């Protein structure tokens, strides 16, 4: 609870600093753009957080986004699939990737870091191969495809960007799953002590695979959203570094890379902090080249604070 309160206070300080940094920071347009970025990357952070809670990690998320965006463009334009069939195929691809990751980690006992790092290269190469290493765009949209794009991306909801609304709906579903269902308790139990969870009768392999599937499916969905926002996908670039943003948002939100810790509300706060920071640096006139340094510094600070606070909390529990 103290960690969540600390994150909320830090977010409030950042937001106040943002408003005082530049008069334009409080504009509706800046808030809209900020909400869109929080919504898009929040979906990735949410999937990554659910996996991290079980003690896993996925370094291939950015490549999955790029592959999914490329496949969606090919199915819609080159193969002339219906939008809903193409969406189902892309999400099924993400689910298959998650199953493969989960099986390799649980059945062959490979390290998640190695499996997903290999996936990072494999899926990026696959995207370039199926696209002929060329940009795949939507071009001029047909009426049916334009309607589908408006449904998924373009139209706002009560003035809020669709990305943010989708993120909030997914957060509501994840909150019920993680914090109010027995299956969510299984996730936390596996991340805290997998061996003890297995001895208590929990099908640990099954739920770890489920966590990988959720993470990859959300990444595939982000690939679809990316395609509709930018109207094109570049196989060699789309999604680059997205996995780092996802992990950073989850960790800033209170998820421990050791597993067994985290909350949906924390992910929401962490994602917001993740994107207010670079917005604040721009308002202060700091060059864009320092954006990664600011994000990396904030992530390192969060990890240091987590490590410093952990002994005290563990001592309190054992004492």
Residue in the structure block whose two tokens are 């800046």? 30
At 319 the pLDDT is 47
pLDDT tens digits in sequence order for the chain, 319 residues long:
667 787 888 888 888 888 887 777 778 888 898 999 999 999 999 999 999 999 999 999 999 999 999 999 999 999 989 999 999 999 999 999 999 999 999 999 999 999 999 999 999 999 999 999 999 988 877 787 888 887 777 768 888 899 999 999 999 999 999 999 999 999 999 999 999 999 999 999 999 999 999 999 999 999 999 999 999 999 999 999 899 899 989 988 889 888 999 999 999 999 999 888 877 777 777 777 777 787 777 778 767 776 776 655 454 434 4
- Residue located via tokens 């592959």: 67
Question: Could you tell me the domains of the chain?
Answer: 33-305 (1.10.3470)
pLDDT value of position 10: 83
* b/e sequence 201-218, b meaning 16+ C-beta within 10 Å: ebebbebbbbbbbbbbbb
pLDDT of residue 227: 94
For residue 310, the model assigns a pLDDT of 62
Structure token pair of residue 108: 């062959």
Determine the pLDDT at residue 44: 96
Place of tokens 């982000």: 222
């Amino acid at each position: 609870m103290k960690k969540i309160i600390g994150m909320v206070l830090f977010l409030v300080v950042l937001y106040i600093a943002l408003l005082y940094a530049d008069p334009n920071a409080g504009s509706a347009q800046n808030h809209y753009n900020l909400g869109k970025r929080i919504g898009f990357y929040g979906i990735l952070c949410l999937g990554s957080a659910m996996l991290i809670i079980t003690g896993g990690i996925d370094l291939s998320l950015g490549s999955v986004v790029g592959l999914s965006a490329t496949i969606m463009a090919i199915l819609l334009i080159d193969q002339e699939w219906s939008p809903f069939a193409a969406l189902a195929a892309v999400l099924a691809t993400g689910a298959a990737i998650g199953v493969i990751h989960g099986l390799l980690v649980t059945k062959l006992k490979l390290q998640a870091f190695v499996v997903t790092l290999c996936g990072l290269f494999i899926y990026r190469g696959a995207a370039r191969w199926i696209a002929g290493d060329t940009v795949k765009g939507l071009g001029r949209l047909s009426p049916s495809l334009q309607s589908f794009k408006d449904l998924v991306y373009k139209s706002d909801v009560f003035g809020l960007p669709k990305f943010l609304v989708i993120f909030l709906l997914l957060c509501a579903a994840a909150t019920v799953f993680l914090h109010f269902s027995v299956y969510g308790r299984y996730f936390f139990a596996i991340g805290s002590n997998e061996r003890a969870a297995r001895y208590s009768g929990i099908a640990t392999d099954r739920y770890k695979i489920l966590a990988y599937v959720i993470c990859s499916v959300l990444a595939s969905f982000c690939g679809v959203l990316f395609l509709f926002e930018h109207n094109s996908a570049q196989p060699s670039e789309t999604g680059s570094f997205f996995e780092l943003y996802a992990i950073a948002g989850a960790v800033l939100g209170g998820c421990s890379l050791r597993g067994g810790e985290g909350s949906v509300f924390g992910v929401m706060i962490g994602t917001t902090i993740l994107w207010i920071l670079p917005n604040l640096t721009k308002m202060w006139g700091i060059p864009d080249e320092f954006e990664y340094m600011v994000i990396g510094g904030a992530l390192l600070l969060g990890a240091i604070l987590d490590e410093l606070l952990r002994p005290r909390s563990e001592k309190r529990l054992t004492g």
